[in-house]
Chains A and B, each alone.
Chain A
Amino acid sequence: MSHPASALSGEGRERAWLIEGARMIDPSQNLDRVGRLLMVDGEIAAIDPLDGDIPAYAKRVSASDQILIPGLVDLGAELGEPGREEDETILSGALAALAGGYTSIACMPNTDPPIDTAAAVEFVRQKAARADRCRVYVIGCVSKDRVGVEMAEIGSLVEAGAVALSDAPRPLENTALLRRALEYCLMFDRPILDRPEVISLTHGGVMHEGLTQLVLGLAPLPAEAEDLATARDLRMLETTGGRLHLTSISTAGSVELLRRSKARGVRVTAGVRITNLCFDDQNLRTFDANYKVNPPLRDQVHIAACLEALRDGTVDLISSGHQPCSLEKKMQELDNVPFGVTSLDTALSLVISRLIRPGHLSWARAIECMSLNPASVINIDAGTLRVGKPGDVTLIDPEQRWIVEPAALRSRSRNTPLLGEELTGRAIMTWVGGQRKFVWA
């Protein structure tokens, strides 16, 4: 199959694009109607322009029955580079992102070495610029070596371009460090990202503690371990002020705590991973390592609570939770397999197939949770179709059926339980800065 990059290499750099006939959905301006969108010189130039305002050189795309949205933004994808190139590179991750409809991704600092210095931030930014695919933003470490003891040079990281700070996937277990980091970040207006978990309750854990876990005899990851850490994080945030984003919550308890805090006006945001919404703990009855994720797949009660929280605004965004992992690492005993699912390629399709089509989530809310809201957490100029903003847009064919097979994935890894499954709906074209970077062939 032809590579998406090479398929486009013959295409000249177009100065202008006119996308006609699509249903345009942009929650940033309550837009949801059929029309046409003009991009000129890298920016969104007009919605429904007059014929006379359309440059003759504009390349036209006929998009009836398709959906045009602001390019998706992902918070916390793991890109593997440097140090884990067997799992993913910045280039392969960016290609997977484009194929999944993402135009901006913010990558996690759990590389080897971790992104805990300005030089490391610079390395990722240069690699991303050289790849020249989607926009890649960098999340720096909260702590030196990402080991949760001493603060990293957060000021230098921010100076070098870090948009947020996190030790994820390692939780900020050290409460004193969490407090200092929240306070220190007040100077830079950057959010701290934490994946709440009390490690002493989860040591060696493999799956959600519950009936299925009881039967399978796998070591438990209790919901309380997340609830307690969420409560602590929120309480600390009230003391320090500053900005905190909980990257991937998964329990009804976390949802309830967040709801109360938000009602009191605490400046917290939270995300949920698409995998945690679409699969539950019973999937692990197959002992398929591709269902081993952390936070773990929980039961339907927790999933329903997370979905409700997404609808009512308690949870702000859906992340891909992209954690690529090479085949040799996943082909081990379940106890030893690393956590994670590769999902930049498939997240949008899963949202369409499993959340929007069955009526769990509206198109507008789904797009808001995958573009505008993640963009605002890291304060980047994205997630909108407003005139004058960057030409980062994604065209979706909501009826496109496709089978998740290895050849269809741009990620270097194949660790997804979806292999062989048919999904309905996907990104078919993606533009970044007014340049078309991906076409589904």
Chain B
Amino acid sequence: MNVDDEIVVPTYPTTWQHRHLLDLERLTADEINLLLDTAEQLQAAFSSKREKLSLLRGCTIANVFFENSTRTRNSFSLAAKRLGADTIEFSSGGSSVAKGETFIDTAKTIEAMGVDAVVVRHSAPGTPHLLARHMDCSVLNAGDGPHEHPTQGLLDILTIRQKRGSLAGLTVALVGDIAHSRTARSNIWGLKKLGAHVIVCGPATLVSRQWEKFGIEVAYNLDEILPRCDVLNLLRIQFERQATRPFPSVHEYALLYAMNSERMQHSKPDILIMAPGPINRGVEITPEVADGPHSVILQQVTNGIAIRLAALWLLVGNRGGAKA
């Protein structure tokens, strides 16, 4: 075997101090960079050979999803397996209350099976934080209602960093349903901390003016901000989370906010088009843009694995050493 093919295993960074990954709002820029750097090192390690590492051999990761998910769940599963960990899959269609068991009991039952980390998704904000208070193992937030989705924010940022080298000074617009988007919130904090200028853009019913108080630019008109944007992140319209419809029709939404070929002509020539997916083709984005040369949507998916490798390893790889 050629020595060049050997996987170069990174060493565990002693500067990582957290037991849980609950949100990006409370991480520092250094901690975010550490996650991104670790993700790239692990990505490089795997690029030469499709082999499992043994960084988490003997560890068990539980995917506990109280809300439907295919992509995020598979991404976490694959990352755990590549690190040599075993995985347990738990999913509950509806709320745990419907089953007569509090979700804390559900999680503690899973923890009692001897897991090292719980990856949790739930429709209610704060659920991973609540779990973290009741459990000894690591808790990784895979999306808590409209609150945060830290690994999604990180993978979006990693994708931009890989394309542009740095976030500092870039103008990044998050377009769509900001009010109900956990992806938006995680992106906002991560991008701000790394020095990007952030614009939130969408219908006034879904984009609060209050974001300006956090130093975020608020815009309702996509065409006005488009020429200034280095990156557009087109958020999925969350039809299922809204009690009263915040805009009259999908047709009107597409008219005002869909990224299409015509709008591409008014964009910067090197604009990056991103979407956290699953994308509604024809709503936020037209097929020719989604599949066009500016789109990095599939690279985001690839980076999702890298970020989850890094997150799992940092949280679980030093059990006993790292503390909350």
Which chain A residues have a beta carbon within 8 Å of chain B's beta carbons? 203-204, 210-211, 214-218, 286-287, 289, 328, 331-336
Contact = CB atoms under 8 A, between A and B. Distances in A.
Nearest to B95: A336
A287 B208 CA distance: 22
B185 A215 contact: yes
Interface stretch (B7-15, B144-152, B262-270): B144-152
Given A215-B185, A287-B130, A332-B102, A203 B124 contact: no
A84 B242 CA distance: 32
A328 B103 CA distance: 11
B210 A214 contact: yes
B324 interface: no
B103 A217 contact: no
Contact of A335 (B104, B123, B148): B123
6 contacts: A216-B125, A216-B126, A218-B126, A328-B102, A332-B104, A333-B95
A289 B125 CA distance: 12
Nearest to A284: B126
A335 B25 contact: no
Nearest to A218: B125
B97 interface: yes
Given A204-B243, A218-B125, A218-B147, A333 B210 contact: no
B303 to A, nearest CB: 24
A389 B214 CA distance: 58
Most interface-central of B96, B123, B210 (chain A CB within 10 A): B210
Interface residue tally on B, bucketed by range: 20 to 34
Say whether chain A's binding surface is mostly helix, strand, loop, or mixed: loop
B159 to A, nearest CB: 23
Contacts of B213: 211
Contacts of B145: 217-218, 335
A287 B95 contact: no
B127 A333 contact: yes
Given A214-B211, A216-B147, A218-B147, A331 B102 contact: yes
Contacts of A217: 125, 144-148, 180, 182, 185
A224 to B, nearest CB: 14
Interface in B14-58: 25
Interface of B: 25, 95-97, 102-104, 122-127, 129-130, 144-148, 180, 182, 185, 208, 210-211, 213-214, 243
Contacts of A328: 102
What 7 A-B pairs have minimum CB-CB distances, sorted nearest first? Answer: A287-B126, A217-B146, A333-B124, A217-B147, A335-B124, A287-B129, A217-B125
Contacts of B123: 333, 335
Contacts of B126: 216, 218, 287, 333-334
A203 B243 CA distance: 8
Nearest to A327: B102
Contact of B125 (A203, A210, A287, A332): A287
B22 to A, nearest CB: 10
Contacts of B125: 216-218, 287, 334-335
Contacts of A331: 102, 104
A211 B213 CA distance: 8
A217 B146 CA distance: 5
A333 B103 contact: yes
Nearest to A204: B243
A214 B146 CA distance: 10
A250 to B, nearest CB: 19
A333 B124 CA distance: 6
A217 B178 CA distance: 10
Contacts of B208: 214
A285 to B, nearest CB: 9
Nearest to A289: B130
A204 B146 CA distance: 14
B249 to A, nearest CB: 22
A286 B180 CA distance: 20
A334 B185 contact: no
B189 to A, nearest CB: 9
Given A333-B126, A335-B123, 20 more contacts: A203-B243, A211-B210, A214-B208, A217-B148, A217-B180, A217-B185, A218-B145, A218-B146, A286-B129, A287-B125, A332-B97, A332-B103, A332-B104, A333-B95, A333-B96, A333-B122, A333-B123, A334-B124, A334-B126, A335-B125
Nearest to A286: B129
B130 A333 contact: yes
B127 A334 contact: yes
A404 B126 CA distance: 25
Contacts of B144: 217
Contact of A336 (B97, B146, B214): B97
A328 B123 CA distance: 20
A73 B180 CA distance: 43
Nearest to B210: A214
A218 B104 CA distance: 19
Contacts of B129: 286-287
A216 B208 CA distance: 13
Contacts of A214: 208, 210-211
Nearest to B127: A333
A217 to B, nearest CB: 3
Nearest to B181: A217
Contacts of B214: 211, 215
Contacts of B185: 215, 217
Nearest to B148: A217
A216 B102 CA distance: 22
A286 B125 CA distance: 11
A211 B126 CA distance: 16
A41 to B, nearest CB: 52
Nearest to A334: B126
Nearest to B184: A217
A415 B208 CA distance: 33
B130 A334 contact: yes
Contacts of A334: 124-127, 130
Nearest to B129: A287
A308 B243 CA distance: 36
A50 B283 CA distance: 88
Nearest to B241: A219
A218 B130 CA distance: 14
A332 B243 CA distance: 22
A214 B126 CA distance: 13
Q: Which residue among A203, A210, A216, A335 has the maximum number of chain B CB atoms within 10 Å of its CB?
A: A216
